[in-house]
Amino acid sequence: MNNCCTQKETLKAYPPTLHCPANGKLYNKVKRKTILHHLLSPWSFTLHEQGYYFCTDPECGVVYFGQDKTRIAVDDVRTTLWQKTNDAHSFICYCFGVTKSLALSDEGIKDFVKTQTKNALCSCETSNPSGRCCLKDFPTTKNQA
């Protein structure tokens, strides 16, 4: 019986948040599966059985860190992170390729993404470097003034 695709990574054993070893602020857990989909050369990294976390501070060079204080830096990932750059052409929705400027120019895009998310047609767990749904990252005209 082949059940390799049904084994789910569980994060329950690890603290929900941890301090980034570089800036000392608290960040949320992320799955190893997510990290592997964004590393520049995942075959050259060993991810251990421990909690990993995603640092979103634009001033911090660390993207992911482990409970053992392992650091994965901006240069170690192949994805451009909107959290770490001012580039308006970086993606905020990695599943459907929506940039910040696109989201601002067409509010209907957010509704499209909402619909796909509702129908479980998104792939945030792997496509989004945060491993989470991107909807909260969409800019609103209000906070972009």
Binder to Zn ion among 55, 98, 113, 122 (CB under 5 A)?
55
Closer residue to Zn ion in complex, CB, 72/103: 72
Nearest distance from residue 15's CB to Zn ion, in Å? Answer: 16
**From CA 45, how far away is CA 55, in angstroms rounded?**
18
In degrees and rounded to multiples of 5, residue 114 shows phi and psi of -55, -45
Instruction: Kindly identify the residues of this chain, within the stretch 4-33, that bind Zn ion according to CB under 5 A.
Output: 20, 22-23
Q: Find the part of the chain contacting Zn ion (CB under 5 A) among 9-17, 53-61, 115-123, 136-144.
A: 53-61
Q: How far is CA 115 from CA 9, 14, 108, 110, 122, in A?
A: 26, 32, 11, 9, 9
Residue 74 contacts Zn ion per CB under 5 A = no
Q: Find the part of the chain contacting Zn ion (CB under 5 A) among 43-51, 58-66, 89-97, 113-121.
A: 58-66
Nearest distance from residue 114's CB to Zn ion, in Å? Answer: 30
Beta carbons within 10 angstroms of residue 23's beta carbon: 13
Binder to Zn ion among 62, 81, 103, 113 (CB under 5 A)?
62
The secondary structure of 47-96 as a DSSP string is --SS-EEE---TT-SEEEEETT--EEEGGGBSSPPGGG---TTSEEETTT
Binder to Zn ion among 18, 60, 77, 134 (CB under 5 A)?
60
**Footprint of Zn ion on this chain (CB under 5 A)?**
20, 22-23, 55, 57, 60, 62
